[in-house]
Structure 1
C-alpha cells in the first residue's frame, strides 16, 4: 500500500445516468434484444436472459476419444432480475421495503428453480469495472443441472468439518467473530479516558495510577482482539473474513442456522435488507463512488439434494470488490497471485476498521442535503 502507484487507472463511475433511458433495454416500457417490450414495472422485474449461457435442452456432446478430455452437457436456465424501475439508483439508495422485495424475490426463485435444478446461483456484478455492461440495477440468476466447482468444494469442506468437529463450520465462524466483537467492546470499555493520537498513529489512553495500568491492559488485549466485524444486527453479521484476499472483501452470515434464502423468516428478511443497505452504503462512502463489486449467494444445494441431509451448510453471501486505493485504482490478481499464492494489500482487521468507521448515511444524501435536493431514495 506504500508503493507509489504507476499502474492502470480506471475511469470514475458515471454519475450522470438517466433515470429512464429510452435506449436502455432494462428500463420499463422499452424493447429488449429479442423484440419483447418490458412492462411498466414499478418494483422488481424478472425475465429470461436474452443471451443465456445455459439452455434447458443443450445437446449431449459426442463420444470422447481420450480420457483426458471429459465433457458433459451443461443444462439450465438464465434469468435477469431488475431491482428497481429507475436506472440512476443502486441498492444502498433504495428504501428498506424496496430491498426487502428484492430479497423476497430471491427466496422465491430459490424455491421455484430449486425444485428442478441442483444449483441456483444468484449474483450481481455492479459497475463497468466488474464487466457490467448496463448501469440499471439488476442481478442474474443461473440455475444449472450440475453442482459447479465452487459450491461443490464448499459442500465437501463444510460436510467434512461437521463430521470432524460436530459443528456447522460457518455458523461457528460467525459466532466466534461475534464473540471477538464482544471481547473488543470489553477492552474499549475498561477505561473511560479519552484517546489521543500519537506519532505512530496508534491510539493510547492517558490517565494516572490505576487508569494508566488499565490503559496498558487495554492495549495488550487489543493486540489479541482486533475485530473483523463491519456491521451487525440481531440476525446478521458482516465480516471481512480471516482469509480475505480482495482488499475490502466481506462475508455476510445469518446468526441462526439457515440452509437457504427461502428458509429465512420475515424478521430475518427485514434484518437482511437493513444490513445490506448499511454495508453497501459504507462501500460507496469509502471512496465516494458507486462501489463496484461482484457478489453472490451460496446456500445448500437444491433439486435432488432437497431429499438429503444438508445440515452441514450455512447460508452466506460473498462480496468481492476490486477497488484498492481510490475510486480509480483497483487490485489486480496477476503474476505471483495467479500462479502461486494470493497476497494481501492490507490485513482483514485494517479493512474492517476502515469500513466500520465510515458513516452509515450515504455520501450522496449528505451532499444533496446541503443543496436542498433529494437523492435517488423515494
Structure 2
C-alpha cells in the first residue's frame, strides 16, 4: 500500500476510533512551547530517592538492599483490595457508579538509579520480563484485568527518575480492554481469525511500517497510530496473555524492548519519554479468548525534536486524534535509527 501523503483518516480496529492524518502540517513553522530535554546526569545511587536500594520510603518502610528488580505494594495506590458497596439510585441513570477494588504495585527495573530500559543490559531486561510474568500470574488468579505499564520521563508525569513501572490489577475491565475485547471478538466472529494475528501477517507482507522483528515479536508503527512515533509490539504467535509466554518468548521480547527503546533514544539523542503498557486477554474469562493476542502499546509524545512535544488538545480533545506525519514516515525514521545507544557511541555508525 502506497503512502497516503495527503489529508485522510485511518481507523483503529482495536478501539474503533479514527485518526485524522495531515502530513502537510509537518512543514509548518513551529512557534509553540518546547519541553526541556532530559539530559540531567544522575548518580547510580541517590540517598533521597525512595526507590533506591536500602532507602526509606514516605511510609517509613525501608527498601531491602536489592539488586536487579524489586516489587512492592504502591504506598499511594489508586486501588485497594477492600470492596465497598456503592449506593445506586435506580431512578437516576445519568449518575452511575460502581465499586472498584484491586491492587497497585511498583516495579523497580534496576537498583541503578541512573539507567533507563534501553541502557540496561539484555539480561536485566529479561529479568524484568520474568518479573512482569510472575506478578501477572499471581494477580490474574484474583483479578480480571491486569495492567502492566511504565510512564517514562517528567513530561509524561513521572515523578521519580529511578527506572520503574507499575502494575494495576482490578476486578472490572478497564475501558480500553473492554473496547479491544469487543472489537477483537467481532472480528473473530466475522472472519474466524484473530484480528491481531491477521494484522501481523499483513504488516510482514507489506514491510512498510516494521521497526523491528525477531522470531516471536513484531514491532510496528501501527497503520492507525495517533501519536507521532507510536509503536505496537505484538506477539507473532497465538499468545493471549503474559502467563503463556515461554522462556524463549520472554528472551526475544527483551530483545525487542531493548532495540525499540534504544531507537527511541537515538531518534533525537535524548532520553525519549513515553507511556507504554501491555494488553492481556481478560483473566478468569467468561468466554473463549481465541480472539485475543498479547500486545504492548508505546505512546511517546515527542514530535520534531527532543524539545517539541505533540499536544493532544483542541480538535484532538473535542473531535478525534490528529497527526502530522504518516505512520510510514515515522516507521522509516525509527528503522533508520541505530540500535546501538547514542551514549555508547555515534548512533549513526
Instruction: Give the TM-score of the pair, scaled to structure 1.
Output: 0.83
Q: How far apart, in 1, do the equivalents of 2:254 and 2:79 lie?
A: 30
User: Which of 311, 333, 339 is residue 354 of structure 1 equivalent to?
Assistant: 333
**Residue 291 of structure 2 corresponds to residue 312 of structure 1:** yes
Aligned with 1:294: secondary structure? strand
Paired position in structure 1 for 2:237:
256
Contact 2:267 2:334 (C-alpha < 8 Å) held by counterparts: yes
User: Which of 6, 12, 37 is residue 12 of structure 1 equivalent to?
Assistant: 37
Q: How far apart, in 2, do the equivalents of 1:80 and 1:41 lie?
A: 14
Q: How far did 1:58 drift?
A: 4.1
Aligned with 1:323: secondary structure? coil
Aligned with 2:304: secondary structure? strand
Aligned with 2:232: secondary structure? strand
**Residue 293 of structure 2 corresponds to residue 293 of structure 1:** no
Paired position in structure 2 for 1:31:
56
- What are the Cα deviations for residues 181-215 of structure 1, in whole angstroms up to 9, with x where unaligned? 2xxxxxxxxxxxxxxxxxxxxxxxxxxxxxxxxxx
Paired position in structure 2 for 1:185:
none
Aligned with 1:122: secondary structure? strand
Aligned with 1:319: secondary structure? strand
Q: How far did 1:45 drift?
A: 0.2
Contact 2:221 2:232 (C-alpha < 8 Å) held by counterparts: yes
User: Which of 201, 226, 236 is residue 175 of structure 1 equivalent to?
Assistant: 201
Q: How far did 1:38 drift?
A: 0.2
Aligned with 1:170: secondary structure? helix
Q: How far apart, in 2, do the equivalents of 1:6 and 1:238 lie?
A: 33
**Residue 173 of structure 2 corresponds to residue 147 of structure 1:** yes
User: Which of 77, 84, 99 is residue 110 of structure 2 equivalent to?
Assistant: 84
- What are the Cα deviations for residues 13-49 of structure 1, in whole angstroms up to 9, with x where unaligned? 0421121000000000000011100001011000000
Greater share of helix: 1
Aligned with 1:78: secondary structure? strand
Q: How far did 1:367 drift?
A: 5.8
Paired position in structure 2 for 1:220:
none
Greater RCO, CA 8 A, separation 6+: 2
Alignment of 1:48-67 (within 5 A): 48-64=73-89, 66-67=92-93
Aligned with 1:66: secondary structure? coil
Paired position in structure 2 for 1:94:
120
Aligned with 1:326: secondary structure? coil
Contact 2:150 2:166 (C-alpha < 8 Å) held by counterparts: yes
Q: How far apart, in 1, do the equivalents of 2:248 and 2:86 lie?
A: 47
Alignment of 1:122-201 (within 5 A): 122-181=148-207
Paired position in structure 2 for 1:197:
none
Q: How far apart, in 2, do the equivalents of 1:341 and 1:144 lie?
A: 29
**Alpha-carbon RMSD:** 1.4
- What are the Cα deviations for residues 77-106 of structure 1, in whole angstroms up to 9, with x where unaligned? 100000000111011111111101100111
Q: How far apart, in 2, do the equivalents of 1:89 and 1:296 lie?
A: 19
Q: How far did 1:62 drift?
A: 2.6
- What are the Cα deviations for residues 113-134 of structure 1, in whole angstroms up to 9, with x where unaligned? 0000000000100000000000
Q: How far apart, in 1, do the equivalents of 2:261 and 2:125 lie?
A: 12
User: Which of 87, 97, 116 is residue 142 of structure 2 equivalent to?
Assistant: 116
**Segments of 4+ in structure 1 off by > 6 A?**
none
Larger radius of gyration: 1
Q: How far apart, in 2, do the equivalents of 1:246 and 1:63 lie?
A: 38
- What are the Cα deviations for residues 309-341 of structure 1, in whole angstroms up to 9, with x where unaligned? 111100000000000011011001111121112
Taking structure 1 as reference, are residues 250 and 268 closer, same or farther at Cα in structure 2, changes over 3 Å only? same
| Structure 1 gaps, min length 5 | 182-226, 369-378
Q: How far did 1:234 drift?
A: 1.3
